[in-house]
């Protein structure tokens, strides 16, 4: 009995030490991979986590304290009433964390999970086709011209509907990446964006989007 209690205590202490030691957090190379994008610059593939939970969430303590989520839902598939609740959840990724055990990790790190979020639908994008990174950038530029604002905390999350297939040069979603993120300059401002392919299952969709959002928010390049 004494031995069992001692072994249990050692296991608990080891687990606590693992959670608090930054060197044990998910390595950068396991959550994203740099590639060349279609205009000769760089983009970063968001890789699936090796464990079920998005381990990189604990690394938020080393990132910025606030990220403004600006969601853009591309394609007329998002006008389907059956996807309204789905869209609402995706529009506020951090706000929906109370249902997840990671919430306290974010609060302890000083992260503002109630930071303002903005959402926009663009159903006029032609569907049932592949959508390149260059076209994503063009859509974002047009949205900025129409009044969409950008600041240092802005992170644009582009959600594709079921009819749009994400491509990044020769790479395709699902086969090569979970999502991807990148930058471009617009009128002197650096626009940081994430492209999230469609996922029909709500829990998986939220998990994938949260993973992509956190990986992009942690990026320091």
221 residues of the chain, pLDDT tens digit each: 444 443 333 332 333 333 333 334 678 888 899 999 998 999 999 999 876 554 444 444 434 567 889 999 999 999 999 999 999 999 998 887 765 555 666 666 566 777 778 999 999 999 999 999 999 999 999 999 888 889 888 999 999 999 999 999 999 999 999 999 999 999 889 999 999 999 999 999 999 999 999 889 888 77
Question: Which of 162, 174, 91, 160 is closest to 132 using CA atoms?
Answer: 160
Sheet holding 164-168, edge to edge: 129-131, 164-168, 171-172
- Residue environment code for 165-193, b if the CB has 16+ CB neighbours within 10 A, otherwise e: ebbbeebebeebbbbbbbbbeeeeeebbb
| Rounded-to-integer distance, Cα 181 and Cα 192, Å | 7
Query: Residue 206 sits in a domain of what CATH number?
Result: 3.40.390
Strand pairing class (164-168; 129-131): parallel
| Rounded-to-integer distance, Cα 170 and Cα 13, Å | 47
Q: What's the domain count of the chain? A: 1
In-domain check, residue 1: no
Question: Which of 187, 177, 182 is closest to 208 using CA atoms?
Answer: 177
Please give the DSSP secondary-structure letter assigned to residue 169: T
In-domain check, residue 2: no
In-domain check, residue 119: yes
Q: If 0-12 CB within 10 Å is exposed, 13-18 middle and 19+ buried, where does residue 119 land? A: middle
Strand pairing class (129-131; 118-122): unpaired
In-domain check, residue 22: no
pLDDT value at residue 61: 41
Residue 221's CB: how many other CB atoms inside 10 A? 8
Question: Which of 184, 177, 90 is closest to 140 using CA atoms?
Answer: 184
**What length does the chain have?**
221
In-domain check, residue 19: no
In-domain check, residue 17: no
In-domain check, residue 70: yes
One-character DSSP codes across 191-207: EEEEEE---SSHHHHHH
Q: If 0-12 CB within 10 Å is exposed, 13-18 middle and 19+ buried, where does residue 160 land? A: buried
pTM beyond 0.75: yes
pLDDT value at residue 80: 96
């Amino acid at each position: 009995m004494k031995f069992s209690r001692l072994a249990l205590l050692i296991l608990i202490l080891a687990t606590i030490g693992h959670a608090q030691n930054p060197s044990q957090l998910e390595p950068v190379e396991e959550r994203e991979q740099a590639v060349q994008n279609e205009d000769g610059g760089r983009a970063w593939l968001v890789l699936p986590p090796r464990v079920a939970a998005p381990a990189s969430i604990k690394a938020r303590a080393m990132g910025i304290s606030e990220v403004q989520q600006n969601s853009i839902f591309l394609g007329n598939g998002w006008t389907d009433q059956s996807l309204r609740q789905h869209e609402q959840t995706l529009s506020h990724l951090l706000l929906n964390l109370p249902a997840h055990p990671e919430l306290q990790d974010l609060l302890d790190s000083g992260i503002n999970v109630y930071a303002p979020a903005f959402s926009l639908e663009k159903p006029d994008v032609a569907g049932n086709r592949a959508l390149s990174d260059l076209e994503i950038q063009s859509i974002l530029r047009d949205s900025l011209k129409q009044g969409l604002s950008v600041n240092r905390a802005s992170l644009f999350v582009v959600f594709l509907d079921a009819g749009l297939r994400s491509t990044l040069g020769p790479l395709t979603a699902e086969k090569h990446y979970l999502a991807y993120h990148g930058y471009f300059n617009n009128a002197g401002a650096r626009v940081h964006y994430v492209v999230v392919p469609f996922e029909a299952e709500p829990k998986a969709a939220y998990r994938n989007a949260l993973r992509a959002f956190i990986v992009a928010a942690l990026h320091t390049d």
